Amino acid sequence: MQKVVIVTGAAGVLGGAIASAFGNAGDKVVISDINITPKAEELASAINRGKGEAFVRKTDIRDWEEVDGMVKETVKKWGRLDVIASVGGQSLGRLSKEGKDKLLLEHTVEDWDLVMETNLRGNFNCIKAAAGQMIQQKDGQIIIMGSGTANKGRVGASSYAAAKSGLYGLMRSADLELGG
């Protein structure tokens, strides 16, 4: 059965690979990212030339209205949402203006908030928006991308490690609340 899939963070390496795999399987894929790059457009074109169908949508997962709008647009276009793969989420090194990780004592409150908003609020928004639709359908899968850094830590990535640890708690609780 052809699935309708949203992949956030799909302009990145991991998100792009996941979107490509769904597209190659013949699924309908929303390629979503905060920045729409030529790579994202090329990925959508490749999927559309193959067995699948795709479109690109700029979405900041930190913004509830944008995420909710993405889910609604997907359902309006394709009638349902079977899978959301929430891959969007980053470390400070990728998010900050400086483009580098920082030791804990170098973090500003703004640095900390940016990482938390992207990794935790962003995934919360994706879960909440997708779950509402999936409950109506009585079917669907939510995939959230974690990181080994949550368990091991990493020098210069205290905010990322904390956010990903929190994400595991969010995933476990969402599974208990929505899994049935």
Active-site annotation, residues: 160
- Please tell me the distance from the alpha carbon of residue 39 to that of residue 22, in angstroms, as a whole number: 16
C-alpha to C-alpha distance for 75 and 84, rounded to whole angstroms: 12
Q: Are 11 and 39 in contact (CB under 8 A)?
A: yes
Separation of alpha carbons 167 and 163, rounded Å = 6
Alpha carbon distances (Å) from 64 to 13, 129, 174: 24, 8, 17
Measure the CA–CA gap between 68 and 127, rounded to whole angstroms: 10
Q: Give the CA distances from residue 22 to residues 40, 75, 123, in Å, rounded to whole numbers and listed in that order.
A: 14, 17, 20
75, 76, 78, 79: CA torsion to nearest 10 = 70
